[in-house]
Amino acid sequence: MVFGDNLYPSCNVLTALQQAPEGVAVLARDYDPALAERRGVIVTTPGPQGTPRMIDLVEKPDPAAARKLQARHGTANLMLLEGRARLDDAFIAFARDRHANARPGTEPKLALALGAYARTRPVWGVRTSADVIDLGAPDVRHNT
């Protein structure tokens, strides 16, 4: 389990992520075009029992890029990445290998690694509509 800088006071994130099929899973919320520029936008396709399967991720698209994603995939197939993920050994190895040739001192970008991983392996989206407190901007509460 990895944690971002978000708190979910009304949601047990661990329990929610356990409900996803085996492997990598990310907490996500329904797509909101107004938030796309500040979030990772997940492109999904239906998976088993209706669980969304991430097939790509675009990190913080500008408004024009977000509109292109909406036109290409439809808003029903887009979600917003939240600050929690359940990872497995295969993903950790993938991320380690992906970052091995990075410039010294650069930090790995989890969202970008998840997007790359999802292009070839299953990453499940676990939908939430819970209130979230962003610790990077604690005066801002998001909800849907």
pLDDT tens figures, 10-29: 677 778 888 889 999 999 99
Closest CA to 127 of 95, 80, 86: 80
What proportion of the chain, given as a percentage, has pLDDT over 70?
86
Distances (CA, A) of 14 to 68, 96, 133: 33, 24, 17
The pLDDT of residue 105: 77
* Angstrom distance (rounded) from CA 5 to CA 95: 20
The pLDDT of residue 5: 66
- For β-strands 2-3 and 132-134, DSSP reports them as unpaired
The pLDDT of residue 65: 97
Query: How would DSSP label each residue in 30-58?
Result: E--TTTGGGSEEEEEEE-GGG-EEEEEEE
Conformation bin of residue 62: beta by default, left when phi > 0, alpha when psi is -120 to 50? beta
83 close to 73: Cβ distance less than 8 angstroms:
no
Tell me: the pLDDT tens digits for 34-92? 999 988 999 999 988 889 999 999 999 999 999 999 999 999 999 999 878 999 999 99
